[in-house]
Amino acid sequence: DQAREHGQLWENHSAEMAGSRDWRFSLSGELDAAMAAEHIWVAFQPKLDIAAGRITAAEALVRWTHPERGDIFPDSFIPHLEKNGRMLDLTLYVLDRVMEQARRWSLAGNPINVAVNVSAPLLVMDAFVGAMRERLDGGTLLPSLLTLEITESASMEDPERALAGMRLFAEMGIRLSIDDYGTGQSTLSYLKHFPASEIKIDKSFVLAIRDNRNDQAMVRSTIDLAHELGFAVVAEGVEDAAVLEYLRALGCDYAQGWHIGRPIPAKDFAKLAGIGIVSCNAA
């Protein structure tokens, strides 16, 4: 009886797992409708200019508010969109909303540079490069207000191709940032050939610097070497004031994390950054 009960429990559990896998699988089929309904939206997380003590930039992080499933985070749906070849559409949707918002803030006298995450395969996709060039020529892509973030590990899968893609965007005047730095395979001596302006130290190192001397050493030496090579440095995952003070003492340029602000809707970001109520969604 006990064995049967256990078997039953296991079956229920498996059914639940299969069920949860199923609904995520179907998300890419819902993408177009979700974008049209604005169920997919962009959250803005502030980036603090540490020396200036001001929020001068943001990272755009996509959110999906599903009518039945509630808020779904990108790690749950981006892998499925990647498998189904839907990242081009999602990325352009995010980019267009980001540019429209950044343009409004800038016109109101508050230039905020916004970073958009781009999957490495898109960088070298003709359709993406063409769509970006079209927006640049049409005046809806404002390169001085845009940064593209590319994760270090993805770039290192095919560094020569990633490098070629990055050069195209750098030539368009767009800032490039190496995301999740420290988790990939590159060395700073390789990275110095990347036409990037910024590296973002992965939050796993930043979260650990409170009590781990090795992580302190890693963060300290990365900041120094990155500066020698001409990169600005962002620390992500700054969750408390002590870590922010430590980073300030090390000369880190920007801080991003819950201590500074969570990813929030544009109108809330504007309030946090003290730039008034100039957002696309009046709601």
Binding site residues, Mg ion, CB under 5 A: 117, 149, 179-180, 236
Total Cβ atoms within 10 A of residue 25 = 12
Question: What separation in angstroms does the CA of 89 have from each of 32, 92, 122, 204, 281?
Answer: 9, 5, 11, 30, 21
Query: What is the distance of C-alpha 117 from the center of its chain?
Result: 4
Of these, 181, 234, 263, 273, which contacts ligand C2E (CB under 6 A)?
263
Q: Which one of Mg ion, ligand C2E, none interacts with residue 94, CB within 5 to 8 A by kind? A: ligand C2E
Which is nearer to ligand C2E, 89 or 103 (by Cβ)? 89
Determine, following the binding rule CB under 6 A, whether residue 94 of this chain makes contact with ligand C2E: yes
| Rg (alpha carbons) of the chain, rounded to whole number | 20
- Tell me the pairing of strands 113-117 and 232-236: unpaired
Determine, following the binding rule CB under 6 A, whether residue 198 of this chain makes contact with ligand C2E: no
Determine, following the binding rule CB under 6 A, whether residue 135 of this chain makes contact with ligand C2E: no
Round to the nearest angstrom and report the end-to-end CA distance of the chain: 57
**Which residues from 15-44 bind ligand C2E, rule CB under 6 A?**
none
Residue type, 125: M
Question: Phi-psi category of 32—alpha, beta or left, where left has phi over 0 and alpha has psi -120 to 50?
Answer: alpha
Give the span between the Cα atoms of 14 and 10, in whole angstroms. Answer: 6
Three-class DSSP category at 61: strand
- Tell me the pairing of strands 40-49 and 254-256: antiparallel
Three-class DSSP category at 238: coil
Residue 41, beta-bridge partner list: 63
Give the span between the Cα atoms of 243 and 245, in whole angstroms. Answer: 5
Of these, 191, 257, 266, 273, which contacts ligand C2E (CB under 6 A)?
257
Of these, 28, 31, 101, 117, which contacts ligand C2E (CB under 6 A)?
117
Determine, following the binding rule CB under 6 A, whether residue 177 of this chain makes contact with ligand C2E: no
Site string for ligand C2E, 151-170 (x = CB under 6 A): --------------------
Closest approach of Mg ion to the CB of residue 185, in Å: 16
Closest approach of ligand C2E to the CB of residue 95, in Å: 9
Determine, following the binding rule CB under 6 A, whether residue 10 of this chain makes contact with ligand C2E: no
Of these, 62, 145, 191, 201, which contacts ligand C2E (CB under 6 A)?
62
Determine, following the binding rule CB under 6 A, whether residue 46 of this chain makes contact with ligand C2E: no
Q: Which stretch binds ligand C2E (CB under 6 A): 116-124, 153-161, 212-220, 265-273?
A: 116-124
Give the span between the Cα atoms of 248 and 253, in whole angstroms. Answer: 8
Determine, following the binding rule CB under 6 A, whether residue 179 of this chain makes contact with ligand C2E: yes
Which is nearer to Mg ion, 9 or 75 (by Cβ)? 75
Which is nearer to ligand C2E, 60 or 226 (by Cβ)? 60
Task: Single out the residue of 189, 146, 195, 193 nearest to residue 170, CA to CA.
Answer: 195
Determine, following the binding rule CB under 6 A, whether residue 75 of this chain makes contact with ligand C2E: yes
Task: Single out the residue of 244, 281, 263 nearest to residue 272, CA to CA.
Answer: 263
Closest approach of ligand C2E to the CB of residue 179, in Å: 5
Q: Binding residues for ligand C2E, per CB under 6 A?
A: 45, 61-62, 73-75, 78, 91, 94, 117-119, 149, 179-180, 203, 236-239, 256-258, 263
